[in-house]
Amino acid sequence: MLKYHFHIRGENGELDRDERGVEFETLDEAHAEAVRTAIEMVLARPAHFHDDERVFEITDPDGLVLREVPFKDVFRLE
């Protein structure tokens, strides 16, 4: 299992670092968790995330960005 970190890149470029990380078997599992978490965050405060540019950056323990999950993409209504 590999530890993945879920940093949040804000609209103005600031980075809220996930120092603990979470272990998953695959990157796809980590990606699914990021999507679930983004959905929960948006549902909890929808006005706060309207047209938001925040992005989950899924990284390995060395900080290499493996995948990004834009918050605005978790609710594609098209």
pLDDT in tens, 5-35: 999 998 888 999 999 999 999 999 999 999 9
Structural domain containing residue 51 = 2-75
Q: What is the pLDDT of residue 27?
A: 97
* CA distances, 76 to each of 23, 63, 68, 69, 71 (Å): 28, 28, 16, 13, 10
Q: What is the pLDDT of residue 77?
A: 43
Lowest mean pLDDT among 16-30, 43-57, 60-74: 43-57
How large is the average pLDDT for residues 29-53? Answer: 85
Q: What is the pLDDT of residue 49?
A: 67
Q: What is the pLDDT of residue 78?
A: 40
User: Residue 4 has which token pair?
Assistant: 């993945």
Question: How many domains does the chain contain in total?
Answer: 1
